[in-house]
Amino acid sequence: MSTALPTSSLGRIVRGTGPGLLLAHGAGGGIDANFGPIMDALSAQHTVIGPDYPGTGRTERAQAPLSLDGLADALVAAAVEEGQDTFAVAGYSLGSAVAVRAATRHPDRVTAVVLTAGFAHPNPRLLLAAKLWRDLLRAGDLEQLAAFVSLIGLSAPALDTVAQVDLDAALKTTAATVPPGTPDHLDLLLDHVDVRADLAGLDVPTLVISTTLDQLVTPHHHRQFAEAIPGARYAEITTGHLPFVEQPQQWATLICDFLRDVHS
């Protein structure tokens, strides 16, 4: 039985027609940042509901700490408020854990799950990276933060071939566009994300997409999802942690092809 839903305070984008598709973005991201490059492809086949977490995009920063259950419920409520009684959920990075929790708390609403570059629980390596990310934010050192996020977020092949002038411009943009809710997302990641116990009971078609050159959420985490979720499909993209930057077309194709199979 599904958990009762609150009224969702999350600002959102709604696009397209067809079966419902709810998006769950990453920490310090946003719907436009994380899914914008593939939104046209997704909305060509689905009614896409993309809520921004508190402190990103269209949503005001939260006054209280975030919880995984609360965030999952707010996303599901946003989809229902937009007229979608049932829907698939596509989660990216932190959003993968949100997607899993949404599916286990609302099994009568979630019809399929796609987990990209995700983790069930942060291991010591991911915790180390997230703590450094949070420390740079707290120190207000946004230039160093932009350098760190770019170094660990992009794959080595992508950074090896970028022109210096383009990298400099990208770093300035990253430093100037850090969402105000990012510290809250990182607190959630560091202290409250653990969906390992949810995985064996995930009873919907699931696709795990591994970003094979990922230096932030490494393939170790992706394999943990694939091995623990009954019947999960597994696919790979040769990219770092930012498939929407490095391989958006391939990422969109994997999601759309999987959901087409599920709906047919």
**Residue 186 included in any domain:** yes
**Residue 133 included in any domain:** no
55-73 per-position pLDDT tens digit: 999 999 999 999 999 999 9
In three-state secondary structure terms, 9 is coil
**Residue 44 included in any domain:** yes
**Residue 143 included in any domain:** no
Whether the CB-CB separation of 221 and 227 falls below 8 Å is answered with no
pLDDT at 1: 65
121-169 per-position pLDDT tens digit: 999 999 999 999 999 999 999 999 999 999 999 999 999 999 999 999 9
Number of domains in the chain: 1
77-122 per-position pLDDT tens digit: 999 999 999 999 999 999 999 999 999 999 999 999 999 999 999 9
**Residue 174 included in any domain:** no
**Residue 105 included in any domain:** yes
Residue 237's CATH number: 3.40.50.1820
Q: What is the mean pLDDT of the chain?
A: 97
**Residue 112 included in any domain:** yes
- Partners of 237 in the β-ladder: 211
Q: What is the dihedral of CA 17, 19, 20, 24, to 10 degrees?
A: -100
> Which residues constitute the domain of residue 258?
12-124+181-263
167-178 per-position pLDDT tens digit: 999 999 999 999
Q: CA 263, CA 244: separation in Å to the nearest integer? A: 24
DSSP string computed for 43-110: HTTSEEEEEPPTTSTTSPPPSS---HHHHHHHHHHHHHHTT-SSEEEEEETHHHHHHHHHHHH-TTTE
**Residue 88 included in any domain:** yes
